[in-house]
Amino acid sequence: MSANVLVLGGGFGGWVAANEIRNGLPEKHRVMVVDRSDSSCLGLSLLWLMTGDRKADRISRSFSSLERKGIFFVHGDIDRIDPQRREVIVGGKIFSGDYLVVALGAELAPETIPGLQEAGHNFYTLSGADALRRAMANFSGGRLVIMTTAPGYKCPAAPYEAAMLLEDYCRSHNLRDKTRIELYAAEPGPMAVAGPAVSRAVRQMVESKGIVYHPEHQVVEADPAARRLRFSNGVEAGYDLLCYVPPHRAPRAVRESPLIGESGWIEVDRHTLATRFERVYALGDVVSIPLKLGKPLPKAGTFAENEAHVVARNVIRDITGKGEAAAYDGRGECYVETGDGQTAYGEGKFYGDPVPEVTLHPPSPEWHDAKIRYEREWLEAGIRSNDDFRRTA
């Protein structure tokens, strides 16, 4: 008997799951990826795109390379998911699997905050980060505001890295003495799930650069004409150039399916990533995994990839009867770009009880080089173009 594995979403987690399942199964079994895009963009490179250190057409990997590896690729928008039947509808066609791996990521919803889309640049998208790059090239100083618009978002380090990289940019472009840089955050502190010591250290890195930090400021409205932001605590703030992390939610196809849990995301077994539906797994940004400290496991590529390895090994074992059962232990790592060609590196066990056990290694050029190597390897796994890095390790 041959099995059919359907992977929904070919981003960070879906790509790893599909590749590993394909490699681990005899040819008679079929692995298929469905994605609405024809390529996947590397999130961490968006930060280098906005500073002009990367080009927009050089930071993605193409899904066509999946086909060269014997994985079927369906290019289309998943309209409906039926987890009981393990079926999806894509462009009016039904695709079904013996196994379903849901890796559809998070949907960005800037339109849920009045005025936000017109007011600033959403650097969490390729087009938004590129628009911010152009805006920075025309910026002659003033109030530069970086803002998070909800406490939960993917890559908890990214807005803090963005603030430090933009500060570096202003210094190297003789704009620093003409620019006030402020970071308004909906959350109480940076990277809180990594523990108070890490959070304090990142806040200190940000503030030591003269960036004014305003935690616990939940934006409720932006006025693009007046260039003003209004927060739920009554504070108002002006800006000349605004960039923001938009609110996140589960993709529509997931929200409208029985997969959606009370958290607003898919709930899974924290060790196997199994959903409550038979042979249906979910991983990455689309899931919510509660931790002992009462907050969910952060959303980041590192978790999506590590979870994908576990799902892949268990699906292969289920189909072939070979290999050891795998269990995810909550491990994750992250690079924190601090400007001046330096990067800090955090690593740890997020399932630590009662709190995650995370170590933050101080900023160094070596971690920065390691991040660039990671970027190159990620892009090479799907060769689109990776021959034009301005910064090379």
Ligand X SMILES: Cc1cc2nc3c(=O)[nH]c(=O)nc-3n(C[C@H](O)[C@H](O)[C@H](O)COP(=O)(O)OP(=O)(O)OC[C@H]3O[C@@H](n4cnc5c(N)ncnc54)[C@H](O)[C@@H]3O)c2cc1C
Which one among 5, 6, 7, 9 touches ligand X, defined by CB under 6 A?
A: 9
Closest CA to 43 of 215, 213, 161, 217: 161
The rounded Cα 17 to chain-centroid distance in angstroms is: 16
Pairing of strands 107-108, 30-35: unpaired
Residue with the shortest CB distance to ligand X: 11
- CB 29 within 8 Å of CB 121: no
Complex with ligand X: residue 47 or 227, whichever CB lies closer? 47
Asked if 257 interacts with ligand X (CB under 6 A), we say no
Minimum CB separation from ligand X for residue 230, in Å? 25
Minimum CB separation from ligand X for residue 184, in Å? 17
Asked if 155 interacts with ligand X (CB under 6 A), we say yes
- CB 174 within 8 Å of CB 207: no
Minimum CB separation from ligand X for residue 259, in Å? 13
Written as one string, the DSSP assignment of 156-172 is TTHHHHHHHHHHHHHHH
- What is the number of other CB atoms lying within 10 angstroms of the CB of residue 207? 12
Asked if 284 interacts with ligand X (CB under 6 A), we say yes
**Residues of span 11-50 touching ligand X by CB under 6 A:** 11-14, 34-37, 40, 43-44, 46-47
Residue with tokens 């932006």: 222
Which one among 22, 121, 133, 299 touches ligand X, defined by CB under 6 A?
A: 299
Cα separation, 133 vs 182, whole angstroms = 18
Asked if 335 interacts with ligand X (CB under 6 A), we say yes
Complex with ligand X: residue 90 or 319, whichever CB lies closer? 90
Cα separation, 249 vs 306, whole angstroms = 22
**Residues of span 93-122 touching ligand X by CB under 6 A:** 103-105
Asked if 87 interacts with ligand X (CB under 6 A), we say no
- CB 106 within 8 Å of CB 248: yes
354 vs 188, 273, 350, 358, CA distance in Å? 20, 21, 10, 13
Complex with ligand X: residue 184 or 227, whichever CB lies closer? 184
Asked if 304 interacts with ligand X (CB under 6 A), we say yes
Alpha helices in 258-364 (DSSP H): 301-320
**Residues of span 47-76 touching ligand X by CB under 6 A:** 47
Which one among 100, 145, 158, 266 touches ligand X, defined by CB under 6 A?
A: 158
Which one among 124, 160, 213, 277 touches ligand X, defined by CB under 6 A?
A: 124
Asked if 268 interacts with ligand X (CB under 6 A), we say no
Asked if 243 interacts with ligand X (CB under 6 A), we say no
Cα separation, 188 vs 59, whole angstroms = 32
- What is the number of other CB atoms lying within 10 angstroms of the CB of residue 103? 30
Minimum CB separation from ligand X for residue 366, in Å? 16
- CB 204 within 8 Å of CB 211: no
Binding site for ligand X (CB under 6 A): 9-14, 34-37, 40, 43-44, 46-47, 77-78, 103-105, 124, 154-155, 158, 251, 253, 284-286, 299-302, 304, 334-335
